[in-house]
Amino acid sequence: MYLQITVNFSASWCKPCRVFAPFYSELSKRYPTLLFLIVDVDELTALTGVLYIRATPTIFFREDGEQLDKLVGANQPELENKLAKLAKPTSTNWLEDRELPNV
């Protein structure tokens, strides 16, 4: 099974990020098979530097640790298009679909 993640690199001082945040939150309810994360670029500067985040918001689309796509800017229709392509039919709980190692 796939672990599908969207990561929104955002900043508290970024007006487009603040406007975009409720929409991103609503999408997390509409796509329950995806894991939605928000990273504050000012809190995790080392990570954002390594990933070359140069604008906010920047959304990464990842699956099982590999980056599939990226969206720069608060383009809501484009984000919905990318999510529709990423979302795979699974149960509504992504953790239930994961094959966990035997401990």
Question: Minimal CA–CA distance to 14: which of 62, 48, 63, 46?
Answer: 48
Which of 7, 17, 71, 74 is the catalytic position?
Answer: 17
3-class SS shares of the chain: helix, strand, coil, % to 5: 30, 25, 45
pTM of the model: 0.78
At 2, the pLDDT band (50, 70, 90 cuts) reads low
Q: Which of 5, 14, 39, 59 is catalytic?
A: 14
Query: Is 48 assigned a catalytic role?
Result: no
Residue 55 DSSP code: S
What 8-state DSSP symbol labels residue 47?
H
With beta carbons less than 8 A apart as the criterion, state whether 77 and 20 touch: no
Q: Render pLDDT for 23-48 as a digit per residue (tens, 0 to 9).
A: 999 999 999 889 999 999 999 988 88
Domain ranges of the chain: 4-86
The CATH architecture of the domain made up of 4-86 is 3-Layer(aba) Sandwich (3.40)
Reply yes or no on whether 14 is catalytic: yes
